[in-house]
Structure 1
C-alpha cells in the first residue's frame, strides 16, 4: 500500500483509479484513506494532487483520531450507527471528503461524504441530509409503485405525493388526490406497496365495505400480512431518530 509522509507521520492510503470519475478525490474514515485518481493520471499527477491536499489530510486524520479516542461522546450519526430503511437497520459510514458538497450514497448501507467546510459537531448536518435523502427516496417509491398499479389496473389518481402525516399512513381525497406518509420508507417494501394499493383502491370504492376489501385483494393478494405488520410495528416507524 502506498504511503504519504507528513512530518513524522506516515499515512498509508489505498489508490483507486476510475474511468468514469471527472475529478480526483480523497475520502477518509477512521483508519483508512482512499485516493481516487483518473485512469489518465501518472505518478507525478497523483503526487502533485496529494501535495496540494497534504495539510487537509493531516488535519482530517488528526480529527478522526480524536473522535475515535473519545468514542463515548461521539454524536449519534457516526460510522457504525444504524439507520432504519425498508424494514432493516442499515449501517452508516461517515467519511471526510475533499469535495465541495455533502454527498449521500446507498450501497448496502448509507455512505455520507462530509465536505471540507463541515467542521465541529456535524451531527445535525448529517441528520438533516439523511432525512432529505429518505424523503426523496420515499417520493420516488410512491411514484414507482403507483405507476405499476396504474398500468395493471387502470387506476389513475388526480395526484399522488408524500407528506409528513400526523396520523394515518395515507389518504385519498374525494377528487382522487392521494397522500402517503413518507415514514413508510422505514417499512419493508411490501408494506409500502400495500398502503399505496389501499389508497388507490379507494378510487373505486370510497368506504371500507366488503367490495373494497375484495378489490384490494385483487391489487395485493397478500395485503393482510402487510396490514398485520403495520399494526404491530407502526409505533416504530418514526423519523424521531433524525431529530
Structure 2
C-alpha cells in the first residue's frame, strides 16, 4: 500500500472561527476532498499529487459557503468555567466550584437542579472534571460490558478508555475493548449501545447482518442510540477540556 505524503499544516478562518487545516497529498487521490473533524475543531484535506497551492486556495474558496453552513450547525468549542454547564449521562449539570482546596468532584441533585461540584484551584477545574468523567465512564462501561459479555458467554481481555476523535469504540482481534470516555456525557441508553456494540464484536468481527442482529438483541435501543450519536456526537467532541 502506498502511504500518503507528509502533511502540510496551516490555519484557516471560516465562520468566525480559526481552525487548523491539515493538507495531505495522497498518491491514490483523484480529486480534492475536504473533511470536518468530529466536533468541528479541525479540517482535513486530501489532494492528488502535484496539486498547486493556488488550486488548493481556489478549492477552499469554492467550499467556504459549505464549510460555514456545516460549522454554523455545530456548537462552538467551549472552555469549561464556574457557572457553565456540562452534560453528564445526557443531563445538563451546572458547574460550581466549591472553593475548597481539596475534595472530590461529585454530581448532586439540588433544589437548583443538577450541580457538578468541583473542588481545587480554578486552574485545575477542567482537569478535575475530566478525571471525574473518566471515573464515571469506566464504572458504567465496565458494568455494561460485563452484562453484555455474560449474555454472550464471552470475556474481553481488557477495557481501555481513550479520548478518540475518529471512533467511539473498538475491539481488537485479541479481545481488547477501547472506548471514548466522552460517551459518559451521552444518555444512558447510548452508552449501553456502545458497550453492546463492542462486545458483539467479540463474536462477530464485522458489521454484517449477523453482527447487527446480535447488537440489537443485546441492546434493543440500538437504532435509537445510533441516531443520537449521529446527531449529537459532534457536540460531545466539541467540549474543550483544555
TM-score between the two structures when normalised by the length of structure 1: 0.61
Determine the structure 2 residue equivalent to 1:193: 192
Residue 232 of structure 2 corresponds to 233
Quote how far apart the aligned CAs of 1:237 are. Answer: 1.1
Segments of 4+ moved more than 4 angstroms: none
- Equivalents in 1 of 2:80, 2:184: separation in Å? 20
Contact 1:142–1:162 (Cα < 8 Å) also in 2: no
| 1:82 alignment partner, one of 80, 85, 91 | 85
Which residue does the alignment assign to 1:113?
A: 119
Aligned residues: 159
Instruction: Give 5+ residue unaligned stretches, structure 1.
Output: 1-74
Deviation at 1:201, TM superposition (A): 0.5
Q: How does 1:140-159 map to 2 (within 5 A)?
A: 140-159=139-158
What's the counterpart of residue 35 of structure 1? none
Give RMSD over aligned pairs.
1.8
Larger Rg: 1 or 2? Answer: 1
What SS is found at the alignment partner of 1:237? helix
Question: Which has the higher relative contact order, 1 or 2, with Cα contacts under 8 A spaced 6 or more apart?
Answer: 2
- Structure 2 distance, partners of 1:128, 1:214, is 39
Matches within 5 A, 1:1-243: 76-78=80-82, 80-97=83-100, 101-108=102-109, 109-114=115-120, 118=121, 122=122, 124-238=123-237, 240-243=239-242
Q: Distance in 2 between matches of 1:158 and 1:95?
A: 39
Are 1:183 and 1:239, in contact at CA under 8 Å, matched by a contact in 2?
no
Q: Deviations over 1:188-218 (max 9, x none)?
A: 1110110110011011111111111111111
Q: Distance in 1 between matches of 2:196 and 2:132?
A: 24
Gapped regions of structure 2 (runs ≥ 5): 1-78, 110-114
